[in-house]
Structure 1
């Protein structure tokens, strides 16, 4: 038997141990390759989003590659650790350091090449489906034809081969620093017990609780400066949750005599305490990876699904056309007529309303509001505008009052609105008490906010307004506007922007849909990669501990436990190690979804629930697969 055959046989004998690692690497290669196919696809150059798409894919490829590098490094180190006893035996039988190093590099090279080849083959098989999904998600009229780029194949193969080789030499370097006895002891090397601290345990719960509170109460205005504190609290809080609080919790279970001495709980809890202690850092890592996967997938899918509702929230009116200046009145009307004629030609039904408004400036002692420009509407016109959208005005108004129309995303307290101020134009000024209400008109590029005053006050300002202070507003309601988004956007794209400022829900909808399509397309596969890596890490750990566990269960078998009792204990322990991180990650993600829900109008819990349910099914299948391997091994000691 040659040295190469010896290395190949070692890989074959450890097939089950390498299986999860191999599949995860293969998936990473597949995803990397399919994105590369899109990046080098010749037909992409025909689309306007080519540059944006290629930049996004490059960022995605870097993330996949860096994460795969770290994952392979961790996995290879784990395998080396689990086989140290084997390497120690080979060393005592006379294998030299250089031969052992060659064997390790050769084994990892074999697995790496197999992963690359399998990943490329799977990627080639899925490329057509991937291109179909890509075309559908991004709204391309024609599905991109099947194309296998030699550049994509070469980039993927060379990049991952280099990665596997570098990781091999890195792990060999760490192994050569160990003495022969340390290698021979292998995974049984004594470990320092983690010290249990009530202070750290309490702080972990407190940190997570504060992070949850910040997430639960966050809104659009506060979320940006709360994100860093939330992460600063949640990451160390989760770490100490597993390294400290988990031990404290199991110790409390031991003190509950009625529970502890019931059935097999004594054995389950006792073993679980040591497993939680030994695997605390691993469970923390798995939880963070899973939380990233859940959060990114759920948030992206939730945003993707909420485009219509959010369009109606940010732009209350289906279509608005605003023209500035009395001198442009005729030209503005001509542009509006052109839009109407185009809608008529496309059989798009609509209702329209034309109103005047005027701009004024705030004079206030509040620095944030002084010299702020407002678009002023009369109460009657605002009432008609809301009626056009099928809504009622929720307030009445007096002559000395002005209602500031705040967008839904801005709360009054964040706007820091004074109780009173003056409104002035070139030829008029008056004092008002200030109130706020949610805006039901679209914003514009001319003023910061819109406002409503009584009809008499509005006429008072309008009658003396200069030409450039007068605005013309054409407001449209289009039933079932989502069916005409492309036509509406194209039609408004033809108007003269020097005369008309157009805005529409259709344009916002298409922009958000396109942006979310890119993000969803880029993010979903990375999320799945993170989640599969988390499952693989658990699989590695199970294989590292399985020899010690077999000795333990053999002892239990000899003192009289039945096959079913031992399987029950093993299933409970594995189940807790698998699903505790999943549960914690799902809770973390749930509060991230609450942040998104506080920002959006549409419900994100249903799409987020669907995403987590899919991940749960995948995790459950992975658990059943690993449990069956584990219990099959137990049969050897019975």
Structure 2
């Protein structure tokens, strides 16, 4: 048997431990390849807007996938080395040198890496067309044709080949300094029962409670950094202290502990949790990041799209020039008329003055009542007449209620106003507040203002009340107008509802589309960590259950015990991560003012089903390994 055959047989013999690592590597390579194929697609690169946006999003995702894959592979290989310490000790006694062990590790990594790359790219090729169809539907594009992505193949092969070549140089140092005796002992579990500290148990409860309370108060009232610190500290001590304390408390309840086969799995559970504290902590935080990222994408998308959909006018033009460019709006008039679209063009001039009571140093905007009434009547909104000395506030989503003035005074014109009603929706493109005042008061304000803005709005009745498609006339005309060379000035702000809505939706879908697959990779890696830990204890569990069978435990009772322990190992971090995610999303909901309970529940439910499926596969394989010792 040659040395290469020996390395190949090592991989084949340890296939059980390599299963999760091999599967997760293939999935990461497959997603990396598909994203690269999408980036290099000829039709995507032709579209300057979408191509740039998708290129940046996918490139960022490729970097995240590659970096996380490196850490995942390093952790996995390091785990395999610890599990195989006894094997390396035997080889050392038989006369194998450190150089030959290095070569063995190198060959094993290359074998696994090359096979993973080949299978990952082949599966990616099979799924590329389906991915293109899904991307076309998500981004509302014409169907992307299939092509042979040679560039994507080359990039994926080179990137992951380098990764698998580098890993042995990092992993070998993990056993380089170990003596033969320590290698032969392998990884033996300590027998002492885990102990807990009452102070650390209280610390876990206190920090988690504080983090959840601050999250429920909203992002404006709670420093995000402190919430993260409390969550990290509380999670770590939850697994190392609080959960162990709960297990010991259950063991002290004789009516519970001595019922059925609970004595079998509870006796070992406290040790498993304590011994796997760092693993549970890492897995929980990885799950939390994956869930929270998807949830925040949904919050952000819903918030932005709600704001954009509330924009009532198909087009508007805001200019600080005096006078504004007539050619800009004349071009749009001609395009709409040529397309046979009926529209109403409305104009107003906003004047800006310093308000005595305002907490802001910048001047506040004032609008003529007759112009406001004309625009709102065109939209079908009800309005209330203003009397002398009254004003109406137009509030945007960004303006906080405490900054809305009940009374305001303009020192320059010596005019005073009081609010006549509750603030109305601000359809103007100004971030904070604009006040509508009677025409007579506006005449005085317009004589010597600090500055003025010209606002021209286009109301198109047939386009109001529905979301424009990417290939609709509204979107096409908007794109042509927004990309007009005449609009390149700093003091001009154009807006086309259809084009902007579609561009925003495509951008948010890109983030969600990319983030979903990255979250799945994080999720699979976290589940794989649990798999590695489970099989690290296989030999000890085999001795444990062999002894239990000799004292009368049935095979079914032992299976129940194993299933319960594996279920706790797989689902305890998941449940804690779901709690973290729920409270973290409270921050996002308070910041953006939208509720995403239903979509977040659907997303978490999807990951829960994935974990349940993975749990079923792992549990079946593990029970099969234990059953061998009982036959």
**Given the two structures, how large is their TM-score scaled by the length of structure 1?**
0.87
Which of these residues, 408, 428, 434, is aligned with residue 421 of structure 1? 408
* 1:525 matched to 2:517: yes
In 1, Cα distance between the equivalents of 2:408 and 2:161? 69
Aligned with residue 265 of structure 2, among 258, 264, 268 = 268
Structure 2 vs 1, CA of residues 434 and 201 (structure 1 numbering), >3 Å: closer, same or farther? farther
Q: Once the two structures are superposed, what CA deviation does each residue of 1:515-539 show, in whole Å capped at 9, x if it has no partner? A: 2133223322211111110111111
Query: Who is 2:425 aligned against?
Result: 440
CA contact (8 A) 1:302 1:608 kept: no
- Contact 1:358–1:465 (CA under 8 A) maintained in structure 2: no
User: Structure 1 375/10 Cα, relative in aligned 2: closer, same or farther at 3 Å?
Assistant: same
CA apart distance, 1:340: 5.0
Distance 1:328 1:77 in 2: 67
Q: Is this contact kept in 2: 1:535–1:619, CA < 8 A? A: yes
1:626 pairs, out of 597, 603, 618, with 618
Judged with a 3 Å threshold, the aligned counterparts in structure 2 of structure 1 residues 384 and 99 are, in CA distance, closer, same or farther, namely same
The match for 2:573 is: 581
1:430 CA drift (Å): 0.4
Q: Is the 8 A contact 2:332 2:481 kept in 1?
A: no
Separation of aligned partners in 2, 1:198 and 1:134: 53
1:244 aligns with 2:247: no
Equivalent residue for 1:212?
212
Following superposition, the deviation at residue 300 of structure 1 comes to 2.4
Deviation string, structure 1 residues 135-172 (Cα, Å, up to 9, x no partner): 443443351431221x4323322322222222112222
Shift of 1:506: 2.8
Structure-1 residue corresponding to 2:433:
449
Q: Deviations over 1:573-609 (max 9, x none)?
A: 1111111111111222222333333344554222222
Give the alignment partner of residue 478 of structure 2, picking from 484, 489, 507: 489
2:337 is matched with which residue: 325, 335, 341? Answer: 341
Which residue number corresponds to residue 153 of structure 2?
Answer: 153
2:287: which partner in 1?
290
Residue 119 of structure 1, CA deviation: 1.2
The verdict on how the C-alpha distance between 1:90 and 1:332 changes in structure 2, with shifts beyond 3 A counting, is closer
Q: Relative to structure 1, is the Cα distance of residues 629 and 331 closer, same or farther in structure 2, using a 3 angstrom cutoff?
A: closer
Distance 1:563 1:592 in 2: 43
| 2:628 paired residue number | 636
- For residues 328 and 284 of structure 1, what CA distance do their matches in structure 2 show? 60
Aligned residue runs from structure 1 range 499-538, under 5 A: 501-538=493-530
Equivalent in the alignment of 1:474? 457
Partner of 1:186: 186
Comparing 196-205 and 534-543, the one that deviates more: 196-205
Q: Deviations over 1:241-280 (max 9, x none)?
A: 2112211222222333333333333333222111111111
Give per-residue Cα distances to partners, 1:21-51, cap 9 Å, x unaligned.
Answer: 0011111111222222233444443220344
Secondary structure, counterpart of 1:31 in structure 2: helix
Q: 1:324 touches 1:472 (CA, 8 Å); kept in 2?
A: no
Kept in 2: contact 1:408–1:439 (CA 8 A): no
Secondary structure, aligned partner of 2:416: strand
Q: Distance in 1 between matches of 2:561 and 2:601?
A: 31
Q: TM-score, normalised by structure 2?
A: 0.88
Tell me the SS of whatever aligns to 1:157.
Answer: helix
Gaps of 5+ in 1: none
Is the 8 Å Cα contact of residues 57 and 514 (structure 2) preserved in structure 1? Answer: yes
Provide the rounded CA distance (Å) in 2 between the counterparts of 1:323 and 1:613: 49
User: Paired residue for 1:165?
Assistant: 165
Q: How does 1:536-551 map to 2 (within 5 A)?
A: 536-551=528-543
- Pair 458,603 (structure 1): closer, same or farther in 2 beyond 3 Å: same
Report the 3-state secondary structure (helix = DSSP H, G, I; strand = E; otherwise coil) of the residue aligned with 2:186.
Answer: helix
Distance 2:425 2:601 in 1: 32
The aligned residue for residue 391 of structure 2 is: 402
- Are 2:390 and 2:418, in contact at CA under 8 Å, matched by a contact in 1? yes
Q: Who is 1:117 aligned against?
A: 118
1:364 match: 356
Check the 8 A contact 1:377/1:450 in 2, yes or no: no
Deviations 1:286-314 (A, max 9, x none): 1111111112223324544665423134x
Residue 130 (structure 1) aligned with residue 131 (structure 2)? yes
Contact 2:204 2:242 in 1 (8 A): yes
Deviation by residue 1:354-385 (Cα, 9 ceiling, x = unmatched): 4645413123265x42442313242x654554
Distance 1:335 1:34, change over 3 A: closer
Which SS does the other structure have where 1:560 is aligned?
Answer: coil
Moved more, 27-36 or 593-602: 593-602
Alpha-carbon deviations, 1:422-478, whole Å to 9, x = none? 2266xx330234688544232336x9631123455345546x578985856535254
Shift of 1:417: 4.9
> In the TM superposition, what whole-angstrom CA distance separates every residue of 1:87-135 from its partner, at most 9, and x where no partner exists?
2233333433333332222222211111111112112222222333334
Contact 2:265–2:565 (8 Å) recurs in 1: yes
Structure-2 change in CA distance of 1:340 and 1:34 (3 Å): closer
Shift of 1:81: 1.1
Secondary structure class of the residue paired with 2:178: coil
Q: Matched residues in 2 for 1:52 and 1:419: separation?
A: 44
| Partner SS state of residue 188, structure 1 | coil
Uncovered stretches (5+) of structure 2, i.e. residues with no partner: none
Aligned to 2:367: 376
Q: CA deviation at 1:563?
A: 1.6
Query: SS where residue 187 of structure 2 aligns?
Result: helix
Contact 1:326 1:467 in 2 (8 A): no
Secondary structure class of the residue paired with 1:482 = coil
Asked if 1:82 is matched to 2:71, the reply is no
Specify whether residues 467 and 199 from structure 1 end up closer, same or farther in structure 2 by C-alpha distance, changes over 3 A only.
Answer: closer
